[in-house]
Amino acid sequence: MPHITATPYTVPVYDLMHRPGEMREKQLDIAVPEGFGNAVIGVQTGSNLRVDLRLESLHDGILVSGDVTGKAAGECVRCLIDVELPVRVEFQELFAYSFDEAFDYTVHDDHVDLEPLVRDAVVLSLPFQPVCQEDCLGLCPECGARLLDNPGHEHEAPVDPRWAALAGLEDLDNAES
């Protein structure tokens, strides 16, 4: 098996390996070394994630159950202001002792690497289009003003371009009077 480099997501399981029925609980406080998310919201580099783990030894591997909590930062897709949303996601996955196509993850040496599992669970839990609040009105299409800050925001009705040439006639009529 290839040796993996220890990361904040690496958890030693040597005390559980090949001991079916054994169980350990562990907490990880991870300062995220590399941010992840989608185009508008994600967990930023350096932010903190807390992972509460339950590691159970089975005949064919280690069953890892976890609860990830933290914060995701991004921007509202309607009005473009910064938003911060809580992250809370649960996962459960079996890390097999030997490589088998039936299992997505394996125990490497005497460790499990939770990074792809945590990353996938968190990214899939993030909203595709985050908003600052459910009734966000967005931005004015003409001037870009945030409509929640200016609820009575209006512009003059645009002049129909077919009548624009006649706009100067009113000024001529007033000058003759």
Same domain? For 46 and 108 the reply is yes
Among candidates 146, 136, 75, 62, which has minimal Cα distance to 103? 62
Beta-strand pair 111-113/105-106: unpaired
Same domain? For 92 and 115 the reply is yes
Do 49 and 30 contact (CB within 8 A), yes or no? yes
Same domain? For 15 and 46 the reply is yes
The model's pLDDT over 43-94, given as tens digits with 9 standing for 90+, comes to 999 999 999 999 999 988 999 999 999 999 999 999 999 999 999 999 999 9
State the pLDDT at residue 177: 59
Judge whether 169 lies within some domain.
Answer: yes
Judge whether 2 lies within some domain.
Answer: no
Same domain? For 61 and 148 the reply is no
| Structure-derived torsion over alpha carbons of residues 115, 71, 55, 8, reported in degrees to the nearest 10 | 40
Among candidates 8, 22, 86, 88, which has minimal Cα distance to 54? 22
Do 101 and 13 contact (CB within 8 A), yes or no? no
Same domain? For 177 and 142 the reply is yes
Same domain? For 26 and 100 the reply is yes
CA 74 to chain centre: 8
Same domain? For 49 and 116 the reply is yes
The yes-or-no verdict on residue 1 having pLDDT over 50 is: no
The model's pLDDT over 99-146, given as tens digits with 9 standing for 90+, comes to 776 677 888 888 999 999 999 999 999 999 999 999 888 888 888 788
Judge whether 14 lies within some domain.
Answer: yes
Do 110 and 61 contact (CB within 8 A), yes or no? no
Same domain? For 37 and 115 the reply is yes
HSE-CB at 84 with a 13 A cutoff on CA atoms is 4
State the pLDDT at residue 75: 94
**Full domain range(s) for residue 163:** 137-177
What is d(CA 158, CA 155) in angstroms, rounded to the nearest whole number? 8
Task: Select the more confidently predicted residue: 13 or 99.
Answer: 13
Same domain? For 109 and 155 the reply is no
State the pLDDT at residue 174: 62
Judge whether 63 lies within some domain.
Answer: yes
Same domain? For 141 and 121 the reply is no
State the pLDDT at residue 145: 80
Among residues 81, 101, 125, the one where a domain terminates is 125
Task: Select the more confidently predicted residue: 64 or 165.
Answer: 64
The yes-or-no verdict on residue 2 having pLDDT over 60 is: no
What is d(CA 148, CA 153) in angstroms, rounded to the nearest whole number? 9
pTM score: 0.76
Q: What domain count does the chain have?
A: 2
Task: Select the more confidently predicted residue: 161 or 118.
Answer: 118
Average pLDDT for 3-14: 80
